[in-house]
Amino acid sequence: MEFKELAIYLEKLEKTSSRLAITALLSDLFKNLISDEIQNTVYLILGQLAPSYESIVFNMADKLIIKAIAKAYNQEEDLVNKLYKEKGDLGIVSEKLADNVKINIEKDLKINEVFTKLLEIANDSGEDSVLRKEEKTSDLLKHLDPLSVRFVTRIPIGKLRLGFSEKTVIDALANHNKLIQKEIEENYNIRPDIGYLAKLIKENKLEDISPEIGVPVVPILCQRLNSTTEMIKKMGTVAVEPKFDGLRIFIHFRRKDNFLRIFTRNMNFLDSNIFPELKNFGRFVKADEIILDTEAVGIDSKREMFLDFQKTIQRRRKHDVEKTSGEVPLQFQVFDCLLVDGESLIKMPYIERRKKIESVVINGDLLKIDESTITNDPEVIKKLHFKYLKMGLEGVVVKRANGQYVSGRTGWNWVKMKEEEGMEGRLSDTIDCIVMGYFVGKGKRSQFGLGKILVGIKDGDKIRTLTKVGTGLTEKMLVEVKKRLEKLKSKEKPKEYEAQKDLIPDVWATPSLVVEVSADSISVSSKHSLGLSLRFPRFLKIREDKGAGEATTLEELKEILKLQ
Instruction: Point out the residues that are catalytic.
Output: 243
The per-residue b/e assignment along 145-180, b for 16 or more CB within 10 angstroms, e otherwise, is bbbbbbbbbbbbbebbbbbbbbbbbbbbbbbeeeee
The DSSP code for 81 is: H
CA distances from 511 to 62, 184, 547 (A): 18, 26, 9
**Whole-angstrom distance, CA of residue 545 vs CA of residue 265:** 7
Q: Which of 415, 253, 239, 240 is nearest to 337 (CA)?
A: 253
CA distances from 60 to 122, 143, 301, 400 (A): 9, 20, 43, 47
**Whole-angstrom distance, CA of residue 356 vs CA of residue 350:** 10
The per-residue b/e assignment along 108-126, b for 16 or more CB within 10 angstroms, e otherwise, is ebbbbbbbebbbebbebee
Give the orientation angle of helix 3-15 with respect to helix 19-31, to 10 degrees: 170
**Whole-angstrom distance, CA of residue 65 vs CA of residue 538:** 39
62: helix, strand or coil = helix
**Whole-angstrom distance, CA of residue 286 vs CA of residue 362:** 7
**Whole-angstrom distance, CA of residue 49 vs CA of residue 153:** 14
The helix (run of H) or strand (run of E) holding residue 238 is strand 238-242
